[in-house]
Chain A
Amino acid sequence: MQLHLDNFTKRFDGTAVIENLDLTVNDGEMLALLGPSGCGKSTTLLSIAGIYRADGGRILFGDRDVSNLPSQRRNVGVVFQNYALYPHMSVEENIAFPLTVGKKRPSAEEVTRRVRETAELVHIEELMARKPAQLSGGQQQRVALARAIVRRPDVLLLDEPLANLDAKLRLEMRSEIRRIQLETGITAILVTHDQVEAMSMCDRVAIMNKGEILQIDAPTQMYRAPASRFVAGFLGNPPIVFLDGQTGPAGRFEMAEGLSLPLPSRLAGMPEGQPIALGLRPEHYGAGGGASAAGRVVFVEPQGREMLFDVEAAPGIVLRSIQPVRDDVGIGDRVDWPVDTERLLAFDSEGRTL
């Protein structure tokens, strides 16, 4: 079911946390709400769930305006960060609970059948008799997911579902949640502040900051063409390096600290003396390109398959490079590595992409 936020506004004690937000999530799509802490992700999510009442605008599920409906009648499944399983109920009772409280209740056999079906979908058939306290984090996560989807909700909301898991489980549950979402075809919103999670699990990513959506795009597209400096800085690990300087003569970019690079050819016609910032991603430094930047290696971080180098190209200006593991460069060495200038990102003084 398509989900649509139309001019949505939410205030807490008079201060607007979210103002006139527009957002459309397509039928069957999984969308990530990505943003720094306090930007209003949870607020948006809880408003869609009906736990917070919107202070303005409309929330539509398909053509149905649910803005004034209480949570109980919205048919939304929610997975909370701490799972919020009911501690006194067995796994089976937890999953069955949503089916036993609504207005129209299915028969006992129907409940059993659907609970079983859902448990099989999330792979917890053999845990049905246990209490939540007897489950591992990943298993609790699966139960929470099962409980959220057993009613076949119109929309599935996940608020930082992986934050409480350790790194390995997180990887596993990432693909599991995506698999289950794809199999059920439920429209879903994932709230996270982990960009890897957002990019790997979702069809589209919406980047939020201070209650505003800055950009919505498919993950690769957003990574390649961020709309602003904020978005560029938010995506990418290791992060992008920003270089603040101005346009110089002959289509070059110059920094007060002494570093100078050719501008990407699409910007070659820019007038001289404009303040501008370049964004250089680590994979575009040291892996071929039309220009080069020399400097001294000040830090090396082996990551197993790759190595991360910090190169001081000018006093106080550190470029980052990620390359396949190599043993010939160490801290203190001077290097002269190529820069892929065509893939440099450029931003004006307001942070908009040029």
Chain B
Amino acid sequence: MTFRPIAIFEYIGARFTTLLEELGGIFSTFLQSAGLLFVPPFRMRLFLKQMEFIGVESSFIVLLTGAFTGMVFALQTSYAFRLFGAENLIGPSVALSLARELGPVLTGLMVTGRVGSAMAAELGTMKVTEQIDALYTMSINPVQYLITPRVLSSIIMLPMLTILFDFIGIIGSYFMAVFFLGLNGNRFINDTIYMVDLKDVYIGLLKAAVFGAIIAVVGCYKGYFAEKGAEGVGKAATQAVVISSVSILIADYFLTALLF
């Protein structure tokens, strides 16, 4: 076969089309699920179940990551700030980083790993075993039944988990700063409160809500359109994690640029 330079562009074009399709699919999934939020019936039980799964059951891993992130961050920044004799900036810098970036992003990534993949796998399995078809034949809108509660719960729970993350992260850094680095605890808290703005926290939570939407929508979309059996389900789960993670990081960039 002779080499056709145009093939490169064909490839790029095809990939681009796929990407657009994918984005369009994800976005329309989001719109559908959001729209169906306001259409009866309202199944509280499903929301609660998803909130439990996304929020309550993620809290341990979020607390764990948060605590260590705070501690490590305090330790690392202390090296730098000690050079300037500016230990009083450890608390504020940890708190600001947690509130603005690390809290939402790391929570988002942790939940993606745990929840996004699970959603893709669950919906994917339902898809390939015709459970979604079954829902449909029972005159139940599968998007409303499966996706809407997941997306909404995720949007609500991610900020909540982020609060946990921020809180435990600051506790962790406080612990590190006071018991290992020998800083004054009161001073640490006062400096932190002094430097951190409510805006920092709330914008961080807003980010988290966006990440929550991304995680659920991508996970559900990937699962909902899974094909080709077990392999397809596995692929859907993997892709959901990859796409969500990347989207979270990209979205974080834009949100930071936009909101701060």
A interacts with B: no
Residues of A with Cβ closer than 8 Å to B?
none
